[in-house]
Amino acid sequence: MRPMVMLPEILIFAGGLAVLICGSFVPRARQWWTRLLAAVVLVGAVIAAAVASAGATTTAFDGAVVVDTATGVVRIAAGVGALAVLAIAGGEIAGSDRESETYALILFATAGTLVVAGAQDLLVLAPGFLLAGIPLYGLIGLRRDGASAEAAMKTYLLGALFGIVMLAGITLLYGVTAVTDYPELARRLPDAPAAVVAAGLLGVSAALLFKAGGVPAHFWVPDAAQGSHALVATFVTTVPKVGALVALYRLAQIVPDTVAWAAALAVLAVAGMVLATLAAYWQDDPRRLLGWSTVAQVGFLLVPVVVIGDSEFALPALLFYLVGYTVTNVGAFAVSAARPDLRTLGEYRGLAATSPMLAGSLVVALLGLVGTPPTAVFVGKLTVATAAWDGGWVWLAVALVIATVLSLFFYLRWLAPVFGRTVPGRSDDVPRAEPWAAATAVVAAAASLLLGVAAGPVWNLLAG
């Protein structure tokens, strides 16, 4: 047993406890100290993750947790994503009566995300799922108004349902194999009854799709994006899905040939791309639009998981896409956090004239989510489509391209007003953008472009 292999997880969880305790004794006017503490913890965890990633693949707790390239990417992406959320929080909830509790919940959920990503045993995956999920209910309901209460209740009910479904799936898989660790499951599942195996895998997969925000467990995502604080919306649509999708990748490695798990996941991927894109067409609230965008992005991200056993490009494509999506999605939400007064797409009219830096960041973020060169998500989608084609899933690659083209139009509905003429009289009284969120948006946009331009070296690093 090598518990120090899990130093990033230990640091983040312990940091959450420290923030929670310290917040009880720090005056409200000085709660920013807890934000600083949380940021220091996350920076330390990211550094520890980077150091661990430089070494060989290793395990902890008798192989129940694995630390490999995928784990390292999740640790770094989740840590950076949580840091960006703290930056947005600097202007949104500073001095509020739930400030330190918010930071603690973010750290706890991030720690759970890392556990989910590294789990190589179903009995570790289950508590990781709970640790990553339960703090989200409190985060989403922090605004304490009707919209946030409805979103929190919907997330809680769906989380409880899919948590039970996951435990049922684990029970079935254990019942036919008498083991829960992935290597042994991979050896025993081919000889187990196919119907029971399929039901068990479906239960575990459905729970992970809930965590990722994918079809058919996606109904909470648009409500959470619209009804919660901008920092919470940024977090719940970014960090948890990074861990959940890597967990699905690990699950894909133990699926036997006796069940058509990959085909079922492919259908869900296409359903997510298409349904979320169609739903996003009718949205007028920018954060709700981004919520549906998140559901669609999960559909794209499921493609490399489907072909993980058929193409050598699948894993690096998945990891690159996850990193690119993290910075790009953070950039889009940061723009909405910088101007919380703009609650409809039409209200962004003239933003390019009044806030050119913010408008430029929004252009990069939205075109990045579409997959426009030279952004990081463009490289992610290109490599994902290549992996699907290389693995023989030609129809899935074609569906990805078609869905990408269709998604362009609902993003353009947001971009078109940005470059429209300013409403007469409005330019004289334009609210100042929230500086922390605006700076986060600019940095995230620059990171998306930088990752896209430097895709070659990053790809070589992820490919090993």
Asked whether the predicted pLDDT for residue 234 surpasses 70, the reply is yes
Instruction: Write out the H or E segment, with its range, that includes residue 58.
Output: strand 58-60
Of 79, 120, 372, 107, whose CA–CA distance to 246 is shortest? 120
The rounded radius of gyration (Å) of the Cα atoms in the chain is 21
For the residues 236-240, what does the mean pLDDT come to? Answer: 96
pLDDT greater at residue 294 or residue 55: 294
Q: Is the bond preceding residue 216 a cis peptide, omega within 30 degrees?
A: yes
pLDDT digits (tens, 9 = 90+) for 246-301: 999 999 999 999 999 999 999 999 999 999 999 999 999 999 999 999 999 999 99
What region, left, alpha or beta, does residue 344 occupy, with left being phi > 0 and alpha being psi -120 to 50 degrees?
beta
Of 202, 135, 112, 219, whose CA–CA distance to 166 is shortest? 202
pLDDT digits (tens, 9 = 90+) for 25-42: 888 778 889 999 999 999
- Residues 114, 116, 117, CA angle at the centre, nearest 5°? 65
What tokens appear for 402 in the block? 């078609």
C-alpha–C-alpha distance, residues 121 and 113, integer Å: 15
Buried b (16+ CB within 10 A) or exposed e, 325-351: bbbbbbbbbbbbbbbbebeebebbbbb
CA distances from 262 to 166, 205, 304 (A): 18, 11, 10
Kindly report the pTM of this predicted structure. 0.95
C-alpha–C-alpha distance, residues 168 and 432, integer Å: 51
pLDDT level of residue 433 (50, 70, 90 thresholds): confident
What pLDDT, on a 0 to 100 scale, did the predictor assign at position 450? 96
What pLDDT, on a 0 to 100 scale, did the predictor assign at position 429? 62
pLDDT level of residue 4 (50, 70, 90 thresholds): confident
pLDDT level of residue 168 (50, 70, 90 thresholds): very high
pLDDT level of residue 8 (50, 70, 90 thresholds): very high
What tokens appear for 300 in the block? 């794209």
Task: Tell me the backbone φ, ψ of residue 121, rounded to 5 degrees.
Answer: -150, 135
Of 186, 400, 432, whose CA–CA distance to 309 is shortest? 186
Task: Tell me the backbone φ, ψ of residue 119, rounded to 5 degrees.
Answer: -65, 130
What pLDDT, on a 0 to 100 scale, did the predictor assign at position 1? 45
pLDDT level of residue 2 (50, 70, 90 thresholds): low
- Residues 403, 237, 290, CA angle at the centre, nearest 5°? 50
C-alpha–C-alpha distance, residues 459 and 464, integer Å: 9
C-alpha–C-alpha distance, residues 152 and 165, integer Å: 20
Asked whether the predicted pLDDT for residue 245 surpasses 70, the reply is yes
Instruction: Write out the H or E segment, with its range, that includes residue 12.
Output: helix 7-23
As to burial, measured by CB atoms within 10 angstroms (0-12 exposed, 13-18 middle, 19+ buried), residue 321 is: buried
For the residues 235-245, what does the mean pLDDT come to? Answer: 96
Of the candidate ranges 202-211, 294-303, 327-336, 455-464, the one whose mean pLDDT is the lowest:
455-464
Of 367, 378, 380, whose CA–CA distance to 303 is shortest? 380
Are 289 and 342 a contacting pair, CB within 8 Å?
no
Are 124 and 204 a contacting pair, CB within 8 Å?
no
Are 5 and 76 a contacting pair, CB within 8 Å?
no
What pLDDT, on a 0 to 100 scale, did the predictor assign at position 393? 96
Asked whether the predicted pLDDT for residue 428 surpasses 60, the reply is no
Under 8 Å CB-to-CB from 455, ≥6 apart: which residues?
320, 376, 379
Asked whether the predicted pLDDT for residue 425 surpasses 60, the reply is no
C-alpha–C-alpha distance, residues 397 and 252, integer Å: 19
What pLDDT, on a 0 to 100 scale, did the predictor assign at position 72? 95
pLDDT digits (tens, 9 = 90+) for 360-410: 999 999 999 999 999 999 999 999 999 999 999 999 999 999 999 999 999
Asked whether the predicted pLDDT for residue 59 surpasses 60, the reply is yes
Residues of the chain with pLDDT > 90: what percent? 83
pLDDT level of residue 224 (50, 70, 90 thresholds): very high
Under 8 Å CB-to-CB from 464, ≥6 apart: which residues?
69
C-alpha–C-alpha distance, residues 165 and 376, integer Å: 35
pLDDT level of residue 426 (50, 70, 90 thresholds): low
Instruction: Write out the H or E segment, with its range, that includes residue 59.
Output: strand 58-60
